[in-house]
Structure 1
């Protein structure tokens, strides 16, 4: 049994979704491990990780509109230290989650045909986001 870890850094363009499947799969493939468990953690409280459709961009557009309805910007939040998008970003992160666990088989995360790994940026401004990866297996 071996363990490996790394941190990948992604530049976001502001609110929206960035697919990180390729970078994650490349790191897993380079690890040399054939089977195991991959854990991902976005190291921020106003961004999140999703496994979601990677073929139809309309899915992400609908998801963004849904999150806007559930956690809209505006008055009424006590926490607004970094602006009106601050607390809604934290709420969206709570709704979507900051960790993922994926089985690794044949040296690849075992995703479905239409699944991709997405970094969700919930702030309006571009950010540099860190995603910690940990792989345990053989």
Structure 2
């Protein structure tokens, strides 16, 4: 089964998509086991499984990656779409564009403190597409 999920994000940062994915799994799997593969169709955003309890963990990740890949680096030549464009591509290449998560009894097999996040690397609000494939 394949489904395209579309969401609007408000800009740079980690945006939880756990409930959106979980709702689609419940609707499509009906208590079955399987594997959920997620793929984001963009080169300036990524996906990750991360702590869902303490917001400071996500803020620290965002700050760390922004320090690692700063904007306005004079080495960048790909600047046509703004100062956050090339850093967004680098951040996406350092993180993940796809995830695989087991499904057990129709539910994502995430740990107690795990959530699924779309990591938007651009500043502007935008629309993002995630392809979800469920296999057995």
Instruction: Report the TM range for the smaller structure's normalisation.
Output: over 0.9
Alignment match, 2:103: 104
The list of structure 1 runs, each at least 4 consecutive aligned residues, that deviate by more than 2 angstroms after superposition, is none
Alpha-carbon offset, residue 94 of structure 1: 1.0
Give per-residue Cα distances to partners, 1:41-74, cap 9 Å, x unaligned: 0100000001000010000110011101111001
Q: How many residues align?
A: 134
| Equivalent residue number for residue 9 of structure 2 | 12
Partner of 2:130: 131
Residue equivalent to 1:89: 88
TM-score with structure 1 setting the length = 0.94
TM-score relative to the length of structure 2? 0.96
Residues in 2 aligned to 1:136 and 1:64: alpha-carbon distance in whole angstroms:
32
Gapped runs of 5+ residues in structure 1?
none
Q: Distance in 2 between matches of 1:78 and 1:60?
A: 30
Instruction: Give the root-mean-square deviation of aligned CA atoms.
Output: 0.8
Distance 2:80 2:40 in 1: 21
Residue 116 of structure 1: SS of its match in structure 2? Answer: strand
Distance 1:41 1:102 in 2: 12
CA distance in 2, matches of 1:80, 1:99: 26
Question: Which residue of 2 is the match for residue 45 of structure 1?
Answer: 43
- 2:25 pairs, out of 17, 24, 28, with 28
**Which residue pairs with 1:122 in the alignment?**
121
Match for residue 55 of structure 1 among 53, 56, 66: 53
* Structure 1 position 132, deviation (Å): 0.4
Deviation at 1:33, TM superposition (A): 5.2
Unmatched tracts of structure 2, length 5 or more? none
Aligned-partner Cα distance in 2 for 1:18–1:10: 10
